[in-house]
A and B are shown apart, each in its own frame.
Chain A
Amino acid sequence: MEWETVIGLEVHAQLKTRSKIFSGAPTAYGAAPNTQANVVDAAFPGVLPVLNGEAVRMAARFGLAVGATVHRRSVFARKNYFYPDLPKGYQISQYEHPIVERGRLVIATAAGEKVVGITRAHLEEDAGKSLHEDLGGFTGIDLNRAGTPLLEIVSEPDMRSAAEAVAYLKTLHTLVRYLDICDGNMQEGSFRCDANVSVRPLGETRLGTRAEIKNINSFRFVERAIDYEVRRQIALLSSGGQVRQETRLYDSVRDETRSMRSKEEANDYRYFPDPDLPTLVLTEDLLAEVKAAMPELPDAKRRRFCDQYGLSAYDAGVLTASRELARYYEDAVQAAGAEPKLVANWVTGELAARLNEDGLDIGGARVTAQALAGLVRRVADGTVSGKAAKDVFEAMWAGEGDADAVIAARGLRQISDDSAIEEVVRQVIAANPKQLAQYRAGEEKVFTFFVGQTMKASRGKANPAKVNEILRRLLAP
């Protein structure tokens, strides 16, 4: 039987506010335990939550960016359960009335563009963390993360493969960073994903029973966890078994999912509207303000890069993967004054490779956009050969100065002067009469030999196009 996979994703994006969603405590990551939690975060008696307006603006920005309905009125609700890292015994979230509903995200798949529906996005607070290490068998509680604002983004079950799920996640990941609402750091848990996975016989319209996979903290693991889960479910159904509705945990070490709790064991969260927080009302003024501050979105930027710079869809996609990279590229194009395609090749080629090698993102580039533009200009005007330019780039990366300085210091200026090249070519021909005879006898492949000898004689500085042209002329019988 042929099976169809159905996937919906729930993403928790930590919002980049300076303070927590319901208290004034700071949100910085990595501080000593419990140094970033105040009496509100620790749920002392009598304390009350007060909503952080910045988190609301960020949620609205997201809603507008995915073409969703941003509700003028939404309601905070309490999700009740006991856990030591949940100080109030309830999480403040949004339940029946979320701030954002019915959006869409366009993703690129192997079969072209695809629209994934976004069911809803709601504001909620993060919990603290339980610490089990180095505490002599005790469990410690760190409340630094408690109360950090989250935007939970729930997709429709629109994805049909792990690859599509990853494409959706990457697109979403790019978007939230573009919107400057989430730093996207998956290692630190700023961007986390749960996947709802089910399978059904191809052609069936009803959804199969789903499992929810929790704790997936990288794009790679999303793909592997889903693939594993799909195989598990198909094997189960094929052998006459049934999929249980349950929550499963992905174990990246063993590359498998494990049952955490079944639907029957699930908590009854007893949601009800939080009486400490009035209905969240968005004014038209606030929405107008959010709209006015909206940055150019990845999709629009990609299209513009194609139109304005004549780039391929692929290059435009790579260059707009982050706002910072796109800015670097545009700064370089502007500084170079022309040659947008050449600049694109350098940014997606040498620069990207070097960044990758050094484990840096574009912010850590040791060659500025202006400096790269300087090098591109020298390639374009023939001062250096493309090959020599790579050495120049390496030297620039190593801090040896700008392109002109490196070219001068290393004597890498390309020889484009016809007479100078002709002089070298004549010497090479004169020194190799045997090969000349072979060539003239029709052994075309000997031509490459002469090119190599000429380049060697010019210490790589001769303009290769010119070398070709002149060799052809002088080798001719």
Chain B
Amino acid sequence: MTPTITKIAEDLAAGRCSSRELVDDALARIAAQAPLNAFVTVDPEAARRDADAADRARRAGAGGVLAGVPIAHKDIFCTAGVKTTCGSRMLADFVPPYDATVVGKMKAAGCVMVGKTNMDEFAMGSSNETSYFGPVRNPWDRDRVPGGSSGGSAAAVAARLVPAATGTDTGGSIRQPAALCGITGLKPSYGRVSRYGLIAFASSLDQAGPMAQTAEDCAHLLSAMAGFDERDATSLDVPVPDYAAGLGKDLKGLRIGVVKEHFAEGVEPGVLDALREALREYERLGARLVDVSLPNSAHAVPCYYVLAPAEASSNLARYDGVRYGFRAPDYQDLEDMYKKTRSQGFGPEVKRRIMIGTYALSAGYYDAYYVKALKLRRLIADDFARAFTQCDVLAGPASPSTAFALGAKNTDPVSMYLNDIFTIPVNLAGLPALSLPAGFAGGLPVGLQLIGRYLDEARLLNVAHRFQQATDWHARVPAGL
């Protein structure tokens, strides 16, 4: 069974195991759990070669806590020489000539990539069912979805195929699958992690982050991923703390804001029960609960479904069949080539969002939709600013339900979109948030979402870490692995 990164680092340092053994184990488990469909690409040869290199470096005295640790990257991160599909037919054979900054930084920290994880097409989905490569199955119940869009990463960590994986989160794509798969996933503040080489869905919302068993592991991973990148004009030029070193602080006096609107109708009773119990645990740890309100959060989903598709409609215009990626085999002329390439290369959910976004930006509708949504976005961010005058972190559900059945919602986009009702406002406000395992409902994991002030990842991770020191929800593993 795959231990945490913290444990792996100890074992590697003490010589109790080698990176090569860890990677071989991971590859074997990935193969054994192939039916989960968590991976789009596995690269055993490169992984073994990198593991051997990590072992040699360690013997030579080099290497930090992540050196030699096997990880997986969501297939949205460009990897030099390794196929990067973004879950789409459009890029099914695309091999980038460059690494995403996140990939390069993880490599520099010594992580060994074993493969690329499955995902909703272009990160558009909350169930991993929009992937061109088929849905990922939830390790806790294989007839259920793992959440999305980082469903492959979440399932891979939950099934202990790898100790950690990267994800991206535009409206909840790290936190919701983390919740549905019972792992810990952090979406950092917008600008904290470089977006260079991360295939864009909605540029003003996309953010990369770590997915792992524990907050402590996420802390190690975030320290490696974060930081200014001159190739991303939206990345922040502020120092990156050693997040793991900041863990273990007492929670006495911590004010946890309980969002009134998040403990309401529409959330499954079992989820609410688990979360209330988690809040009692926090009280036992010395925290104080404060009632807060985010009145404009109710508008977050419609606001998001104007802004994100608007940006996506433009971001995805480059997939035109001209320079790389899929091109329809038969066409009459240029316009026909465009139409057939994009009709055949994109799946229905991606096309739906391109159409919504194109509509929202079109002449005569721009003010009514796009501009209005921008105003709402400001109001939603203001709500958070107000709430944070009363508390230090906010707590609530990461998802209104536990993992739902495959096929249950994929014919009803609106009900699918509402899955992200609690995560979307956070992206709109650019804040950091994480989901951590907080219990079970009907045998399925429940995720507690903690939201922090801008750039307050250190506090968020500490608050999650203290909970994980007091509970063992994060250590539970699905049966049948």
Contacts and interface: CB of A to CB of B under 8 A. Distances in A.
Nearest to A89: B317
A87 to B, nearest CB: 6
A28 interface: no
B231 A80 contact: no
A50 B361 contact: no
Query: What band does the interface of chain A fall in when counting residues whose beta carbon is under 8 Å from B?
Result: 20 to 34
Contact of A45 (B199, B310, B311, B366): B199
A345 B26 CA distance: 86
Contacts of B96: 44-46
Interface in B95-117: 96-98, 100
Interface stretch (B190-198, B281-289, B459-467): B190-198
B362 A44 contact: no
A50 B77 CA distance: 19
Interface stretch (B290-298, B319-327, B411-419): B319-327
B353 to A, nearest CB: 15
Nearest to A34: B323
B100 A46 contact: yes
Contact of B317 (A50, A51, A90, A277): A90
Contact of A141 (B100, B198, B203, B322): B322
B363 interface: yes
Contact of A88 (B196, B318, B362): B318
Interface residues of B, number: 43
B368 to A, nearest CB: 14
A84 B232 contact: no
A45 B86 contact: yes
A79 to B, nearest CB: 10
A423 interface: no
Interface in A44-62: 44-51
Interface stretch (A119-127, A232-240, A268-276): A268-276
Given A84-B322, A275-B203, A48 B314 contact: no
Nearest to A43: B318
A276 B361 contact: no
A360 interface: no
Given A43-B323, A50-B233, A272-B370, A80 B195 contact: no
B358 interface: yes
Interface in A8-51: 39, 42-51
A268 B360 CA distance: 12
Contact of A47 (B196, B311, B358): B196
A78 interface: yes
Contacts of B77: 46
A39 B204 contact: no
A3 interface: no
A46 to B, nearest CB: 4
A268 B334 CA distance: 19
B411 to A, nearest CB: 29
A95 B255 CA distance: 45
B94 A45 contact: yes
A452 interface: no
Given A46-B199, A48-B195, A84-B322, A270 B94 contact: no
A231 B40 CA distance: 65
25 contacts: A44-B96, A44-B324, A45-B78, A45-B84, A45-B94, A46-B197, A47-B197, A48-B196, A49-B233, A82-B317, A82-B320, A82-B338, A84-B322, A84-B334, A87-B322, A88-B318, A89-B314, A89-B316, A89-B317, A90-B317, A270-B362, A272-B311, A272-B361, A272-B370, A277-B233
Given A46-B196, A46-B199, A141-B322, 19 more contacts: A42-B323, A45-B200, A46-B77, A46-B96, A46-B197, A46-B200, A48-B196, A49-B233, A82-B317, A87-B322, A87-B323, A89-B314, A89-B318, A270-B362, A270-B366, A272-B310, A272-B361, A272-B366, A277-B233
The 5 A-B residue pairs with the shortest CB-CB distance in the complex, in nearest-first order:
A89-B317, A275-B204, A270-B361, A275-B203, A46-B197
